[in-house]
Chains A and B, each alone.
Chain A
Amino acid sequence: MYNGQQKPLLLNYTLIGVFLILFLSIFKLQIIESTKYTTIAEKNFVRIKTLFPIRGEIYDRKYRAIVLNKPSYNLYISLNKIQDKKQVTEFISQNFDLSLDEINKIIYDNRFRLYKDVLIVQNISFGKMVKISEQMNYYPSLSLKSEKIRNYLYNNHFTGYTGRINENEYTKYKEQGYSINSYIGKSGLEKYYEDMLRGKNGYQLLQVDASGQNLQFFKHNLDEPPVNGTSMILTIDNDLQYYISSIFPKEKNGAIVVMDVKTGGILAYVSKPDFNQNIFSENLTAEQWSNITNDPAKPMLDRIIHGTYPPASIFKLVIATLALEEEVITEKTKLSRCEGGMWFGNRYFKCWLEKGHGRLNVLDAIKYSCDVFFYDLSTQFSLEQINNFTKENMLTIRTGVDLSGERNGFFPTRKWYIDNYGKYVGIIGHKVNLAIGQGEVLVTPLQICAYYAALGNNGKWLKPHLLTKTITDTESNYIQPEIRQLPVSQKNMSLIQKSLFNAVNESYGTGVAASLSNVSVFGKTGSAENHMGKKTHSWFAGYARQDEFEIAFVVFLENAGHGGSISAPIARKIIQYYYNLEKS
């Protein structure tokens, strides 16, 4: 049984044993093997080298380049090798556009990254590089490296841009192998497909001493080669993209999208004004940055998915199909006589045509874009009904395009009106306005394009997308995107399509400026009143068909005037160009 002396004796021996093991191991390490480890420490022999992958490039549908990589020369500093801090910082300051304070701040911020190369200056010109490389021998802490940066061949919003990782992104993503000097996708495709474009880091363990002898700490050779990023083929057509850019009205802001009706692939994606994305991988000065961000025209805004606007008359189709589907009207039903406006309670709502359209059926109401017809229809539906039907048509919700930061748009609810206008808000008056796409309803140009593509595709809505395949694929594997069916019967769909055709091809149709003799063009104009300026936003959206080629398009110009006179002629040029291109 228990013996008061025996157990503590066991403890004594254990304690002595434990400390003896530690003592002897330390003795071996610090006395017997000391010389070996001293050399390794002094020369910093054992270290990990990260091998960074090459970022995937981006090409158009005909394998023509959009984004490539190009070499860039950068100056790095290795803090543990600094001998005289003052001397080094002065050398950098004299040769480059950096103050002593800025350099000292970089050094201070990285003081616990002694053994990492810290980036000091990027994109050094060749001449400068030759000049300083003669003096580099005096500063063992400095090194020049050639790296790859992005080269965007033309300004655009869909590819987005890459930039140096910032502190927040670094803390968030460092586990995934980003270094403090990494580039990361900041917007557009570069951000959406970051993982795919970036590839995977490789690692190499350096454990070779001065005589070239392998130190063999690690028996298992686990060096991993880097996996380069995947290059992508887009649905974009560079020719069409260039053409649209060239005919885009100067000094106007807006967005033009062209989509393949049968696949949902985006053929052209133009938002103006745009900016040169290359400045973000070069030495962006504070002045350049503030010029871009403070420009009232907002060149960094991608108006196609980040801009939301009132749809105006191009929204009337939604109300018309809702009325047809709910059997409130038929093809033949004529509503109140348009005498240039309509009274609701004590408020008079004007039609855009002062002298009035007379009594119209739905076909003509769309063709002439009569406001009164739709004012009248709005009384037949609740706000919620219109909202739900709008959403079922994939408007005022994200399309799910493969770009980052897409916006929803907006459709007001009863609750929203009460929250914003108080309990006694007159919903009917607001609803009248919403029926012609004015007031609070907001859509993105891409939503409109996808909606009109679906009308052209007999109600089959396809998710718009840009990526069609990777460069190694032989077939496009992204070609079958999400499909939805718009809630419109075949009979009503034909009627709507007919009305869109009439609007362009019959005399006095609002969209006649877009008509072409050899191509069937379907479309609807819109002129949206807005807070941004006196002139209306000019919309023209629709689709065009010739043989097996069918495209949908939206032409949207901020504060440019009427859709029929401004946007429709531009659409006509684009359609003509596209079909000439396809024929040749």
Chain B
Amino acid sequence: MTVSIQLEVNGKPVQAAVEPRRLLVHFLREDLGLTGANIGCETSLCGACTVLVDGDAVKSCTMLAAQADGASVTTIEGLAQNGDLHPLQEGFWEKHGLQCGYCTPGMILSANYLLAQNPSPSDEEIREGLKGNICRCTGYHNIVEAVKYAAERMS
């Protein structure tokens, strides 16, 4: 069977018929070509697949596309506006918050959710807010700096 879904992805309406077992991350990557959300651990641990669903950071490997029917989804592709990087993207660039970059889209969307909840987080609050995102390159120090950079510019 297929399920008809209608949702908004990065501000654009999307209509599709999906298999019930289609995971949101596969729908985004393979059906819509939005490959920013990465598939890492596939077990809800690493956070590489994090996107925003109705403003909440969620792991798109642990959500059915059918569950996103009617929702507004934001991926990393939806953050830059008119070619201008989002302050978080700028922060990761300026503060060298990435090396291989695999975790970066998820990190940025989790940080985006964190800053929406708490516009000026402490270092500790940033680390706690990004607990669901694993980076194997940086040691997190520069990621925290990148989020602080963005928090300052967004306030």
A binds B: no
